[in-house]
Amino acid sequence: MKTAELYRMDMKDHTCPFGLKAKDLLEREGFEIKDYTFTSRDEVDAFKEKHDVKTTPQIWIEGEHIGGHDALREHLGKSVKNKDETSYQPVIAIFSVAFLMSIALVYATLGSFAPVKIFEWFIAISVCFLAIQKLQDVERFATMFLNYDVLAKRWLPYGKIYPFAEALSGILMLSGALVWIASPIMLFIGTIGAYSVFKAVYVEKRELKCACVGGDSNVPLGFVSLTENLMMMFMGIWMLF
């Protein structure tokens, strides 16, 4: 059995999460671990100075210095997530949960699986979820939105109004009330959004990140963003009729 030495922080006021993740990974890979924990900041500083390292945890395998948690993953042939790497995971999570919630809510209220109502509520819940993502940091969303939205570029307040308008339209659509307000809002922001995305991605060929799930998103601007806006356009018209 291979052996590994793990040096990590486990102090009264702080337990290093990456140290625990490294320990778990080593255990799952079948290593016999010598787990050394630091219980004070002085111990951590002394260790860093002695081994000329800037962070903990630090791992040695069979006497060979591997490095920290990410270096361990690379050494074991595991993928290492790049925080700047584009990903569709946020939108997949939002749309998947929204779809399942729409099924559950329709069944709970109607006692059956009504496809049309499921579709309507799926759109409404998705719109609400997306609005929540933006409302967590309106300023960051508005700044990111300026990269491609044609109306926000001409009238800056639109970027800060957008999340509230999106949330309002989704909530009203769920309730079935004040359709004469919800429908125009959804149609308007969906149309402007679809045009902006199409222009930026398919005409100007720009590679941008989408602000649809908030201002710190790594979701690439493109097909998903365009589909979201087309769905809002469709629902804006659908609610009228």
Domains and CATH numbers, the chain: 3-75 (3.40.30.10), 89-240 (no CATH)
Model confidence pLDDT, tens digit, residues 180-193: 888 899 899 999 99
pLDDT at 206: 84
Give bridge partners of residue 4 from the DSSP assignment.
Answer: 33, 61
Q: Give me the residue label for tokens 């402007």.
A: 192
Give the CA distances from residue 230 to residues 119, 162, 216, in Å, rounded to whole numbers and listed in that order: 14, 16, 23
Provide the pLDDT for residue 163: 92
String of DSSP letters for 108-155: HHHSS--HHHHHHHHHHHHHHHHHHHHHTTHHHHHHHHTTT-HHHHH-
What does the pLDDT look like over 48-101, one tens digit per residue? 999 999 999 999 998 899 999 999 999 888 877 666 666 778 888 888 999 999
User: 73: number of CA atoms within 13 Å, CB side?
Assistant: 13
Residue 124: Cβ within 10 Å count:
25
| 50 contacts 56 by C-beta, under 8 angstroms | no
Residue type, 180: W
> pTM for the complete prediction?
0.76
Q: Which segments in the chain show pLDDT lower than 70?
A: 81-86, 215-217
d(CA 10, CA 99): 41
